[in-house]
Amino acid sequence: MAESEMVILFSSGMSWWRLVKLMLLPMAVVMIIVALITTFVSPALERVQADIMQQYRQQAASAIVQPGLIRFDHGQKVVYLKDVEEGGQEIGQVEAILRSGDSESVYVAPRATQYYNAAGDRYIRLFSGKRYDLKNGVVSASVKFKEYTVLVQKRGIVGTDRDVSTLSMRKLLVNGSPEALAEFEWRIAIPLAVIVLGLLAIPLSNVAPRQGRYGRLFPAVLVFAVYFNILAVIRNEIESGSLSMWIGLFSAPIIFSVIGLLFIHYRNQGGRWRVKI
């Protein structure tokens, strides 16, 4: 009895199209839930994970800072750190030399801190110090400052805003890069897969009375694997710029949905291709 539900349904007058109508509501509910996860929940979790990893890398990079001379940009920027405390964040007695052509500026401060911005650029912020402008080795001017920030390294750490998996749907479209468009397509393709695979699962659910409930399991798994492999290929093609996002977004769902509907029509006609005219 447990393996004959479909036989009982159809013997009592249930048609395949009636079954499709009954299944549309639960499939739509599941599709909405999956869409909320792929478009809102997953990117938010990716941002949280990226923020945690960025913070960890910043702390790790700060922790390895040791007192002494540090050179950046092929010697154009030189920073001397006398004291480094609190895991590399707090720095005491800093001297920074910034060169530009035949002139240079020397910044001296009793205290400084270092930090990274969202883009991963590394900065050292000096407090209550003095700047000396030198030209040809001679001091031409000196200025006291309350606070001064020196950019010492560009993009030391990749910021969270550079990873397309963390961007919202709107930002993906604004970004417009092939990677962003591929991510946008993927987030919509996954919810659509619920409807597409649901239409294919309905005719595959019918098994012969003596076939057993797992008689169609292998074909169902095969269809699932083929469909998602096609989606992965489409995503790669969009990322490489070889395929338009809109073509890739609708091609596979439409083709497989038509196959599912034709398969349902075939079942509804008793296994014959009959068309009413």
Reading the block at residue 68, the tokens are 């002494």
Q: So what's the pLDDT on residue 181?
A: 92
- Starting at the edge strand found earlier in the chain, the sheet holding 103-116 runs 68-72, 77-85, 90-100, 103-116, 122-135, 138-153
Instruction: Convert the pLDDT of each residue in 7-44 to its tens digit.
Output: 666 667 677 888 888 889 999 999 999 999 999 999 99
Q: So what's the pLDDT on residue 118?
A: 65
Residue 2 has pLDDT above 50, yes or no: no
- Beta-carbon contacts of 24 under 8 Å, excluding residues fewer than 6 positions away, are none
Q: So what's the pLDDT on residue 158?
A: 42
> pTM for the complete prediction?
0.61
DSSP state of 2: T
Average of pLDDT values for 237-265? 90
Residue 66 has pLDDT above 60, yes or no: no
Averaged pLDDT score across all residues of the chain = 78
Average of pLDDT values for 150-163? 58
Q: So what's the pLDDT on residue 59?
A: 57
Rounded to whole angstroms, the Cα distance separating 50 from 183 reads: 17
